[in-house]
Chain A
Amino acid sequence: MTTAADYTGKIPNNVSLHEDRRLQRALESWQPNFLNWWQTMGPTLPTQDVYLRTAVNVGRDGWAQFGHVAMPEYRWGIFLAERDPGRRVGFGEHKGEPVWDKVPGEYRAELQRLIVIQGDTEPASVEQQRNLGATAPSLYDLRNLFQVNVEEGRHLWAMVYLLHAYFGREGREEAEELLHRNSGSLDAPRILGAFNEETPDWLSFFMFTYFTDRDGKYQLGTLKESAFDPLSRTCEFMLKEEAHHMMVGTTGVDRVVQRTVEVMREHDTDDVAGLGAIPLPVIQKYLNFHYSVSLDLFGGETSTNVANYYTAGLKGRWLEDRRRDDHKLTSDSIMVDALSEEAGTDEQSIGQTEVSALVGLNTDLRREYISDCQGGVKRWNRILEEGGVKQRLHLPHVAFNRKVGAFAGIEATPAGEKLSAEEWQRRQGAWLPTEVDKTYVRSLMQPVHQRGKIAAWIAPPRNGINGQPFDYDYVHLA
């Protein structure tokens, strides 16, 4: 069941906004604040227009249209996936009951917090990436950056709609706070620490969209299972858009690796620094950093809150309906990462311990994510193999460079061997980007804003956007 999209009002939507004048007015009064935020905190590179995808509906027959759009005039809308009138709660103590169209009073605070945290990440990444346009390696990449940015803006709209529509005055206040907090602000930073640092270069951008946006995808996947149906339907549609963001990260790293292989072969050397490409060890270090930081975003190995969210039906597991268990987990267990005391010594070793499956749900989600990330590494290694290069990229061990959870207090190598703090200090430059690495990568970030041209450190894409060629005029600069 779907409601036809209304494109005639100030706010495109498929939630029959015109039938609720009070909500419509509230959102229309938030809209100028959003546009002001976009102008002051959004992309800094002046453009006339950009070839962008705009969501226009949610149906299977086509949900987006492409065209050149002046970014401040982008039609940020509110779209929820089609309603399934027979949908029932899929897990927890309410399993089998009809899903909720309204917020149950007993879960109001928890749902509001989940929505605020998700909502806070959306504008945060736009703020982090605001200066990247100035160093884009091609107009194709510039367009992809802006596509990610406008859709993160739409995801903010999605969460703000839920706050306004279902959480009253507190929800409206939280919606204002989403624009008040800013990435990197000392007075009002974004909620997640990793969303408070500027994305300094395009290798970081691709790694961020591969690893950290993927983390966001998994969080959205758990909220898509929610018994609160408007949240579920919102996240389901956001995941559709998120797939493009994943593609930008995946193929971005593909193309960096591809170009490095080409230069290695062309010059018959592994040392491509100075030849305009990014050396494989530097790519590995960026991968190590972004992957380990993204693992931290899942939180501790065990969590009472997440167990309670699951039992209440607020937040499920990734692909909940494909799990072959009772979807209640009250008598199940899971092995989670832990430090174990070695008998007869004060030493601790990296190991695992068994806990209730409910409190181990952070671990369950993190493992799904890790499995997905392995797919990326496999893909990049195929490029290396096909290019005749012997080196391979690897995901570091879960204990490597962790600031959250069981391994927060120890240091470990990418292979998972425990290290002293002194040894970590001495050797970390071999595993994480050093100032020299970062300076070199940044030195490559010279803008290529001419149609059909591309920077020397990255290969062109195999396909353009929406069937257009690589040398299409994706962006008209101001």
Chain B
Amino acid sequence: MTLTWTKENSPRWDADKQRLFGPAELRAVGLAAPAPDEPVANEWWRVADGEEIAGYGWLDSEWGDARITFLVAPGRRGQGIGAFILEHLDDEAAARGLNYIYNVVPQTHPDGAWIRNWLSTHGFHEASRRQLRRQVETRQRVMRP
């Protein structure tokens, strides 16, 4: 398995996303599906294993607020892809001068307790209701003169 991490410069609700994000996946990440080929908000990265899309990660940032969300393709779960996405999102946050990232587990998540536990084993702690936060580990600072 060789995973690649690629930024989508003008992310759209393209055929790959439409295929991966079924009703359960949309509930899990709290996303309302845009119309086909519509632009999608935030910064998106695609994870591929060869030609196959293995997941997506996205980062929503404003004034220090850095929310990360990710999805592993059905059938590819339990293979370390979630950890791969999380570490890359951590690096992306660090490169943007963001020191903390957080994830919101929506009430609609079909397995909220499991994902909260998974996040806590990856360094997140409950900051407030349904929000889990962790300090960015890779310190690529924005340099000042």
With A196-B141, A306-B62 as contacts: A406 and B9 at CB distance below 8 Å: yes
A170 at the interface (CB under 8 A from B): yes
Interface flags for A285-297 (1: CB within 8 Å of B; 0: not) read: 1100100010011
Chain B residue total in the interface (Cβ 8 A): 35
Tell me the chain A residues, 170-194 only, with Cβ under 8 Å from chain B: 170, 186, 188-194
Which among A113, A189, A304, A406 is the interface contact of B41 at CB below 8 angstroms? A304
Q: How far is the CA of A300 from the CA of B10 in the complex (A)?
A: 12
- Counting residue pairs across A and B whose Cβ atoms lie within 8 Å, the total is 137
Asked if B63 and A298 sit within 8 Å, CB to CB, the answer is yes
With A403-B142, A405-B43 as contacts: A296 and B60 at CB distance below 8 Å: no
Residues of B near A353 (CB, < 8 A) are 10, 39
> Which of B7, B97, B135 has most A Cβ within 10 Å?
B97
B19 at the interface (CB under 8 A from A): no
Asked if A286 and B145 sit within 8 Å, CB to CB, the answer is yes
With A194-B97, A197-B144 as contacts: A305 and B39 at CB distance below 8 Å: no
A299 at the interface (CB under 8 A from B): yes
A219 at the interface (CB under 8 A from B): yes
Which among B61, B62, B100, B128 is the interface contact of A112 at CB below 8 angstroms? B128
Asked if A300 and B145 sit within 8 Å, CB to CB, the answer is no
Q: How large is the interface on A (under 10, 10 to 19, 20 to 34, 35 or more residues)?
A: 35 or more
> Which of B9, B99, B142, B143 has most A Cβ within 10 Å?
B142
Asked if A299 and B65 sit within 8 Å, CB to CB, the answer is yes
Asked if B41 and A108 sit within 8 Å, CB to CB, the answer is no
CB A401 to nearest CB in B, in angstroms, measures 10
B95 at the interface (CB under 8 A from A): yes
> Which of B67, B99, B131, B144 has most A Cβ within 10 Å?
B144
Q: Nearest A residue to B129 by beta-carbon distance?
A: A109
Asked if B41 and A341 sit within 8 Å, CB to CB, the answer is no
Asked if B145 and A437 sit within 8 Å, CB to CB, the answer is yes
Residues of A near B120 (CB, < 8 A) are none
Q: Nearest B residue to A171 by beta-carbon distance?
A: B128
Q: Nearest A residue to B100 by beta-carbon distance?
A: A191
CB A406 to nearest CB in B, in angstroms, measures 7
Asked if B65 and A113 sit within 8 Å, CB to CB, the answer is yes
Which among B67, B99, B129 is the interface contact of A191 at CB below 8 angstroms? B99
Residues of B near A296 (CB, < 8 A) are 96-97, 142
A selection of 21 A-B contacts at a CB cut-off of 8 Å is A112-B128, A117-B63, A118-B63, A120-B64, A186-B139, A189-B99, A191-B64, A193-B99, A197-B141, A215-B63, A219-B63, A296-B142, A298-B63, A299-B62, A299-B63, A300-B60, A303-B62, A304-B60, A362-B62, A408-B43, A432-B145
A interface residues (Cβ-Cβ under 8 A, vs B): 108-109, 112-114, 117-118, 120-121, 170, 186, 188-194, 196-201, 204, 215, 219, 285-286, 289, 293, 296-300, 302-307, 338-341, 348, 353-356, 359, 362, 403-406, 408-409, 432-433, 437-438, 441
